[in-house]
Every structure is written in structure tokens, then in C-alpha cells.
Chains A and B, each alone.
Chain A
């Protein structure tokens, strides 16, 4: 029972990746921003499942959670901010 329960997070992550592949394969009519949002959302869901359940982050102390969560959140936030900044500059130059 315990082993079976341990397999659930990996199964969920596999389902997310399968959904990503299905989107890329058959989601030709979907707009690019929507596609990127869906792919990133599925990736974040898979990562969250692994982080919280497989790595048991939810059972760790607050300090441990901060140690691992802050670099992840900051790096993702920085990537998003830089991409937005880049897009803004490009649009600004055109406009």
C-alpha cells in the first residue's frame, strides 16, 4: 500500500508530460501565448507534485521550505521579468 502510494506523484508527473506532448502534437490551432501558458502550467504542476509529494517538501520545516523554494521562485520570477522586459523593449522600439 505504501509503495503504491509512493508511485502516485510520478504517475501524475507522467500524466502532465503526456498532456504536454498531446498539446504539441494536436494543438496546432491553439494560439502561441495560450500554448506557452498551457505548457508552462503543466510543467509547473508536474514540478510542484514532485517537490511537494515525492521530495516531501510539505513535511519539512519552514526554514527548509524557504531554502529550497526561494531560489526556485526567484529564478522563475527573474526569467519571467526579463522576458517581459525584453518583449516590452521590442514592442517599444517598433511602436
Chain B
């Protein structure tokens, strides 16, 4: 018999306090999930109580990385605003190619979202395929960027030291391309290291998942069996499968961030019309 912390009450079922508890639990599924977790496995109470350590670490990393990109874009904005002349992005850069690469990257964002859903529902094979598809899209993006760099430097004779606009273009897009390459490596590593789900399906979601309750992320688990209790035919425990799902979620966070930053870069570098000096 498991004691469910705050849900257990010494008062009768019809007492006002119990009714209030039931209503509160129905209105706040995430909170009720915390209450349903057995006392020994209850996550520590705090501001990050429902997020896994990996997720918190990734969010902190993304916050610092935002400042890195922010600094570069700030430098671009400052130089562009104060320059007496600035090349028109429409004529200097290959905008159609950049647009195609943007859609490729956004498509990869969709595939990794689907991979997270597949991993959460225990479809490890599908998750692996989707992760591989995402990595392939990332590789296509980097290859397209390399083609653009080569065309710009050799065919149009706009090298790294041509002017401020060229220098910032190479640095910002190159820095982003580096992020994409790191992301590809991470995705491949996660896809290879994924454990098949245990009986009952893998339902990690980055926190402790109550049986038949609601996950820490607020998603219903439809009364499925706790994965941490099961062992698959390959000897993989539910906890291993849950960790795999956690890795996919963290990798997805990183990849979506790479997508997000590219939208800002694409708009700033390729689309904004040049300043007209009178």
C-alpha cells in the first residue's frame, strides 16, 4: 500500500476539506500529479520542481547562448545603422537558396517535434527514424550554407575581409552553422543511444510520472503502467527508457532553439531592406 502524501486525509470522504482538495486537484492537473506521486519519489519542492536536471541545464545554456547571438546581432545592428553605405542583401546574398535552407530547418523542427511525441508514446523505432531525418535536414542545411559561402567568396569575390557586412555575415551564419553541426552530432548520439520502451510504454516527460495520473508536463498518461516498473525483453528497465525520452526532449529543446535563432538571423541578414541615406 502506497501512501499518497497530501491526498490521504484523516477526514471522511464527504468532508468539506476533502471536497476542496478534489476540486483543486481537478483544476490543476500538474499539481495533482505531484500530489499523486508516492512520497519517497516526490520531486523536491522548489521553483524547478517539475523539470528534470537535463532540461534546467539546457534552458540555462540556451539563455547564455541567446546572449552570444544577441551580442553578434547587436554588433550587426550598430554597424549597419551607423554605416554610411550598406550593401543590399537582396543583390549580395543568394536569397532563394537561403529561403530554401530556412524551410529545410523549419521542416527539421517539425520532425524533431514528432520524434519527441513518438518517444513519449514508446515508439522507439519511429523516434529513431525521425531523429535521423532531423539530422539529415541539418546536414543539408550546413551543406547549403557551405555552397553559399563558396559562391559568395569565389564567384562574387566577397570574402571575410571585404567589408563589415561580409565579416558579420560570415561570423553570424558560421556561428549558427556550428550550432547546427553540434546539433547533428547530438541527434545522432541520442538516436543511437535510445533504449526501447519497457512494457506499458515509455512516459518519462522529464520528471516522475505517476501511474494513471498526469505527468509533470501536464500531459495525461491515460492510466498506462509506470515504465519504471517494467523490464523489456532486451533487459531495458523503464527507467532507462524514461531517460532516453528525457534525452530526446533535451535534444529537441536545443534543435528548436537553433531553428528559432535562424529565423531572427534570416530576417536580419537577408530580408531587412538597406538604410537609405539622403
Contacts and interface: CB of A to CB of B under 8 A. Distances in A.
Contacts of A63: 47-48
Contact of A79 (B74, B217, B253, B276): B74
Contacts, number: 136
Interface residues of B, number: 55
Contacts of B81: 82-83, 86-87
Contact count band on A: 35 or more
Interface string B60-75: 1011101101110110
A82 B56 CA distance: 31
Given A55-B253, A71-B67, A47 B260 contact: yes
Interface string A60-90: 1111100110111011101100110011000
Interface stretch (B163-171, B189-197, B263-271): B263-271
Binding site of A, secondary structure by majority: helix, strand, loop or mixed? helix
Interface string B234-278: 000000000000000000110011011001101100011100100
B214 to A, nearest CB: 12
B106 A17 contact: yes
Nearest to A64: B59
A83 to B, nearest CB: 5
Interface in A1-39: 2-3, 5-7, 9-11, 13-14, 16-17, 20-21, 24, 32, 35-36, 39
Interface of A: 2-3, 5-7, 9-11, 13-14, 16-17, 20-21, 24, 32, 35-36, 39-40, 42-43, 46-47, 50-51, 54-56, 59-64, 67-68, 70-72, 74-76, 78-79, 82-83, 86-87
Interface of B: 47-51, 55-56, 59-60, 62-64, 66-67, 69-71, 73-74, 77-78, 81-82, 90, 95, 99, 102-103, 106-107, 109-110, 113-114, 116-118, 120-121, 217-218, 252-253, 256-257, 259-260, 263-264, 266-267, 271-273, 276
Q: Which 5 A-B pairs have the closest CB atoms?
A: A75-B70, A10-B110, A6-B113, A63-B47, A43-B267
